[in-house]
Amino acid sequence: MKKKEVWTVSEINQQQEIKPVSFELLARGRKLAQELEVPLSAIVLGDSLAERELKELIYRGADKVYWVNHKALARFVVENHSNIMQHLIKNYQPQIIIAAATTQGRTLMPHLSIRLDTGLTADCTDLQIEKETGLLLQIRPAIGGNIMAMIKTPERKPQMSTVRPKSIQVLPRDETREGKIIPVDLDDSLLDRRVTHLGYYKSEEEEVNLSSADIIVAGGRGLKKKENLSLIRDLARGLDAGIGASREVVDRGWISYPHQVGLSGKTVNPKTYLAIGISGAIQHLAGMKTAKNIIAINSDPQADIFKISDFGIIGDLFEIIPLLKKKLEEKKLSS
Amino acid sequence: MKIIVPIKQVPETSRVKINEETGTIIRDGVENIINPLDLYAIESAIQLRENNGGSITVISMGPPKAETALREAIAMGADQAILITGREFAGSDTWSTAYALSALIENIKPYDLVITGERATDGDTGQVGPGIASFLNLPLSTYTGKIETVNKDHIIVQRLIEEGYERLQLPLPALLTVVKEIAYPRLPTLRGKQKARTIDIPINSGKDIKVKEEELGLKGSPTRVVRIYRPQVTRKGTILQVKDEKTLAESVDKLISFLKEKKIVSF
Ligand SMILES: Cc1cc2nc3c(=O)[nH]c(=O)nc-3n(C[C@H](O)[C@H](O)[C@H](O)COP(=O)(O)OP(=O)(O)OC[C@H]3O[C@@H](n4cnc5c(N)ncnc54)[C@H](O)[C@@H]3O)c2cc1C
Ligand SMILES: Nc1ncnc2c1ncn2[C@@H]1O[C@H](COP(=O)(O)O)[C@@H](O)[C@H]1O
């Protein structure tokens, strides 16, 4: 019997380079593939990627790389990606497909799961293999992070999930790993020409790629006014961090919506989340609760944010942040 | 312009409690509301109608009490509402929810746009919108933050993605899932409220929409919830209190040590 593979859906950036989140998927997939004793594959759709980009997937854990090359695939257009993925899946019959819980993965995977008549579990924070059955156990937070649910797809294949970015360490790069790069010919009829991609542009302010930030410094209404956001910006710059905000801050127009973390904003999963002048309303926690280290600075000892913090300071942020910044700079200089 | 907006009734999340012993969700006494993220879908539909004319039909699949959510949407300004309800739909996952909603949408053709919320705050999957697009083969824009232009043939939108925005042009009919940035939801009007009280809301069961019974509800759902449990709270945080200059300096020093220990800073 042919061994049914575990697949990961790689993502690429505009420069046609593999995005790091693809390596996280391989780290997840490696564990699953090992337990099932099947090959782990990475799927790449793109336009003329350099070979070193494809090789990198092998160094990071893939046994095979299925590589579909076409000018029309330089940009993610869900209709194209879904058609091509369906085609590949029908040919190769993988048993598990994991993608990142990014705007791409959370668009492609539901579209695909309908066409494949199979189940999909969104935004998982953990994946395991059930010993007795070899089925994929998918674990995810639900109801604003109030509960964890374990979900499986018992009868249909493939089993599909999107996985929250930053929820696993990438594997160390191993240049001795060997694998196969398998170019797949593209049948032009799989391209759906209805939607036109008119281009990208950046948000007006700084970079707001919160999903790939290791550290997020987030500000809340405790900052009191727009000008004071510079405190957060300075600290973020010093720590090489992304900038997050509570809804209060966004609704007041102190910062743009892409920075909003929470129920009606982004779900983030950084290694470290610094909540400054944020009370910790359940809707905010829903977006950042799974961060590995949570640090809170708030003048109210009763603030809910302290209940989920690993480290907290009860005090005035207008005293604490400038001092923190100063001390961090001193340490940096003296090291 | 005919717009269809699927909305979901959800428990108000901040009130949801979990029974520690059984690990089940306690829904008693929890207020049910329109999924807050669907308000943005309703509002953007209203704005499109204001600028281009047309009508808005809100639809929902859920228990009979979901009718309240549809009436609230009418009060905000939607024109009609249709409810899908029945035991056959109980236990639907996103696959069979998208299936049932797609069947109803197919029944109320023609339409120009379907607008859904980004995700529902209870299930929190964001899969139903793209799922409907997939079933109906509609061009799809998810995470839509802005509608630039619409005419009778196509729509130009901005999608919010990790690196910023991208612009897409989609032919109509199309499906958009929208994020909060798209519009600020209005409050119900007095006239809307009056209409909401009296309007007739047709109720569809599995028989009224062209669906295969075996694809509905729990039976038709590919996924199964094996178990639910409370997330372990493993945070035994150190919390320090600033009282004066001295404790201020100490707290900040300890924070820096914490940052170093966790390898958040390296020096
Ligand atoms: C449907 C729905 C969706 C929502 N979605 C989101 C969402 O996506 N994201 C989100 O964040 N919120 C969301 N909210 C709003 C949420 O309920 C809270 O209102 C919001 O998170 C509060 O923001 P905040 O913590 O900045 O403000 P506040 O709750 O006002 O807290 C400010 C905090 O600052 C502290 N503070 C004040 N001065 C100082 C000082 N000098 N030094 C230190 N600390 C100080 C105060 O003690 C207080 O704890 C949503 C609400 C609803 C109903
Ligand atoms: N039962 C339902 N009835 C009507 N619309 C729904 C239903 N479930 C989900 N939706 C729509 O799909 C969106 C995404 O929901 P979900 O995939 O459940 O997170 C919601 O914002 C609604 O617009």
CA A3 to ligand 2 centroid distance, Å: 37
d(CA A230, CA B136): 47
pLDDT at B22: 58
Interface pTM (ipTM) of the complex?
A: 0.91
* Cis before A158 (ω within 30): yes
* β-pair partners for B160: B165
Q: Is residue B234 pLDDT above 70, yes or no?
A: no
Question: Which pLDDT band holds residue B123 (cuts at 50, 70, 90)?
Answer: confident
Give which of B93, B239, B240, B241 to mutate to test A binding, by max A Cβ within 10 Å: B239
d(CA B74, CA A267): 31
In degrees rounded to 5, what are phi and psi of residue A316?
Answer: -85, 120
Strands A126-129 and A159-163: unpaired
A42-57 per-position pLDDT tens digit: 999 999 999 999 999 9
* Strand positions, DSSP E, chain B: 2-6, 9-11, 17-18, 25-26, 32-34, 55-61, 80-84, 113-117, 140-150, 154-161, 164-171, 174-178, 203-204, 224-229, 238-241
Q: Is residue A128 pLDDT above 60, yes or no?
A: yes
Q: Is A187 left (phi over 0), alpha (psi -120 to 50) or beta?
A: beta
Q: Is residue A206 pLDDT above 70, yes or no?
A: no
B152-170 per-position pLDDT tens digit: 899 999 999 998 899 999 9
Contact (Cβ atoms closer than 8 angstroms) between residue A3 and residue A37: yes
Q: CA separation (Å) from A276 to A216, A255, A318?
A: 11, 15, 10
Contact (Cβ atoms closer than 8 angstroms) between residue B73 and residue B55: no
d(CA A4, CA A7): 10
Q: Is residue B85 pLDDT above 60, yes or no?
A: yes
**Measuring CA to CA, which residue among B102, B109, B103 is closest to residue B127?**
B102
Element (H, E) at A327: helix A317-334
pLDDT at B18: 66
Q: Is residue A243 pLDDT above 90, yes or no?
A: yes
Residue linked to tokens 């499906």: B175
Give which of B223, B232, B233 to mutate to test A binding, by max A Cβ within 10 Å: B223
> What is the residue-averaged pLDDT of chain B?
92
B166 and chain A in contact, CB less than 8 A: yes
CA A117 to ligand 2 centroid distance, Å: 19
Buried b (16+ CB within 10 A) or exposed e, A270-300: bbbbbbbbbbbbbbbbbbbbbbebbbbbbbe
Q: Is A328 left (phi over 0), alpha (psi -120 to 50) or beta?
A: alpha
pLDDT at A111: 98
Q: CA separation (Å) from A323 to A53, A296, B242?
A: 43, 15, 13
A291-302 per-position pLDDT tens digit: 999 999 999 999
Q: Is residue A207 pLDDT above 70, yes or no?
A: no
d(CA A191, CA A84): 8
- Chain B, window 167-226: residues with a beta carbon less than 8 angstroms from a chain A beta carbon: 167-171, 179-181, 221-226
Mean pLDDT lowest for which of A191-195, B90-94, B195-199? B90-94
DSSP state of A134: -
Q: Is A98 left (phi over 0), alpha (psi -120 to 50) or beta?
A: beta
A chain contacts of residue B167, beta-carbon cutoff 8 Å: 197-201
d(CA B133, CA A271): 35
d(CA A121, CA A150): 10
d(CA A13, CA A200): 11
In this prediction, residues B200-225 reach a mean pLDDT of 93
* β-pair partners for A65: A42, A181
3-state DSSP helix/strand/coil percent for chain A, to nearest 5? 35, 25, 40
A272-293 per-position pLDDT tens digit: 999 999 999 988 998 998 899 9
Q: Is B241 left (phi over 0), alpha (psi -120 to 50) or beta?
A: beta
In this prediction, residues A156-178 reach a mean pLDDT of 94
Residue linked to tokens 């993608």: A99
Strands B113-117 and B80-84: unpaired
B219-232 per-position pLDDT tens digit: 999 999 988 887 77
pLDDT at B110: 96
The residue whose CA is least distant from atom 47 of ligand 1 is A300
d(CA B51, CA A135): 51
In degrees rounded to 5, what are phi and psi of residue A187?
Answer: -85, 120
Pick from A103, A198, A331: CB nearest B267: A331
In this prediction, residues B191-207 reach a mean pLDDT of 95
d(CA A143, CA B177): 20
What residue ranges define each of the domains in chain A, with the CATH number in brackets?
6-190 (3.40.50.620), 210-334 (3.40.50.1220)
The angle at the Cα of A183, spanning A34 to A100, to the nearest 5 degrees, equals 50
Contact (Cβ atoms closer than 8 angstroms) between residue A112 and residue A86: yes
What's the gap in Å between the CA of A180 and the closest CA on chain B? 30
What is the dihedral sign for C-alpha A199, A203, A207, A213? negative
Q: How many helices (H) and strands (E) does chain B have?
A: 7, 15
Prediction pTM value: 0.91
What is the dihedral sign for C-alpha A51, A54, A56, A58? negative
Neighbours of B52 (CB within 10 A): 13
DSSP state of B91: T
pLDDT at A202: 79
A chain contacts of residue B18, beta-carbon cutoff 8 Å: 146-147
**3-class DSSP assignment, residue A319:** helix
pLDDT at A2: 66
Residue of B7, B9, B12, B14 best suited for mutating to test ligand 1, as the one with most atoms within 8 Å of CB = B14
Q: Is residue A88 pLDDT above 70, yes or no?
A: yes
In this prediction, residues B3-28 reach a mean pLDDT of 76
**3-class DSSP assignment, residue B170:** strand
Residue of B116, B136, B178 best suited for mutating to test ligand 2, as the one with most atoms within 8 Å of CB = B116
d(CA A29, CA A31): 5
Cβ distance B256 to A327 less than 8 Å, yes or no, reads yes
Cβ distance A312 to B240 less than 8 Å, yes or no, reads yes
* Strand positions, DSSP E, chain A: 6-9, 40-46, 64-69, 96-100, 120-124, 126-129, 136-142, 147-152, 159-163, 180-184, 196-201, 215-219, 242-245, 272-276, 293-298, 311-314
Q: Is B198 left (phi over 0), alpha (psi -120 to 50) or beta?
A: alpha
Q: What is the 3-state secondary structure (H, E, C) of A234-256?
A: HHHHHHCCEEEECHHHHHCCCCC
